[in-house]
Amino acid sequence: MCMKNLENILRECLQHDKKSQHLLFNNFKDLYMGIAIRYMKNRELAKDVVQLSFIKIFENLDTLKKLATFESWSRRIVINTALNELKKSSKYEETPFSEESVEFKELFDVEISEILKIDNKQLIELINTLPEGYRTVFNLYMIDGFSHKEIAITLGISENTSRSQLSKAKKNLMAKIDKLSRGDYGKAFG
């Protein structure tokens, strides 16, 4: 959708135009579902997050300062909605940070070529097999570009816990990728 059309649709949405709201929904639902499924693991829960996100978007559209920033603003709403739903259902465990994390980062960078051998669908499926805390921090840091400080504030954990969770997520993910590359699908997705 071109920026000019998006701005027109957003202006009409501000006036509660149902046709424009439907158009906006149809243009962004797949993008938002892709974000939500990375956090929620379950397709039905992800659909709920998308629905809740659109309600929040329509309710708060008047707070958007520049219509041109809609996409990043709305992505943040989807992420925050998913995180709020996760917080309702679980708690994040504080785990101590260790030097093992630093060593693993180097391993992850070296082994990145293994990731390139699997398609996006398989990678998302593997990410979804990670424990919830690992998966959430991994998504926030690696995919959505949050800093450890932002993750700590958002999830109510320490920065060291964020680093530790990310390290463990990478280590776990690399082990799964290794199993997958050896054809051991049961252990990779188990």
CATH number for position 54: 1.10.1740.10
Tally Cβ neighbours within 10 Å of residue 97.
18
* Among 58, 89, 120, residue at a domain's last position: 89
DSSP annotation string for 117-157:
TS-HHHHHHHHHTS-HHHHHHHIIIIIT---HHHHHHHHT-
Q: Which residue has the tokens 């530790």?
A: 164
- Structure tokens, 130: 């990670």
| 78 and 154 in a common domain | no
Q: Rounded to whole angstroms, what are the CA distances from 17 to 4, 24, 74, 141, 144?
A: 17, 11, 18, 36, 31
Query: pLDDT tens across 129-188, in order?
Result: 889 899 999 989 988 889 999 999 888 899 999 999 999 998 888 888 778 777 766 655
| 85 and 8 in a common domain | yes
Query: pLDDT tens across 32-87, in order?
Result: 999 998 888 788 999 999 999 999 999 999 998 887 789 999 999 999 999 888 87
CA atoms lying within 13 Å on the CB side of residue 131: 14
| 71 and 142 in a common domain | no
| 69 and 120 in a common domain | no
Query: What is the pTM for the complete model shown?
Result: 0.68
| 104 and 81 in a common domain | no
Rounded to a whole number of angstroms, the distance between the first and last alpha carbons of the chain is 39
| 107 and 183 in a common domain | yes
Domain span at residue 184 reads: 100-189
Query: pLDDT tens across 27-37, in order?
Result: 999 999 999 98
Number of domains in the chain: 2
* Among 89, 121, 153, residue at a domain's last position: 89
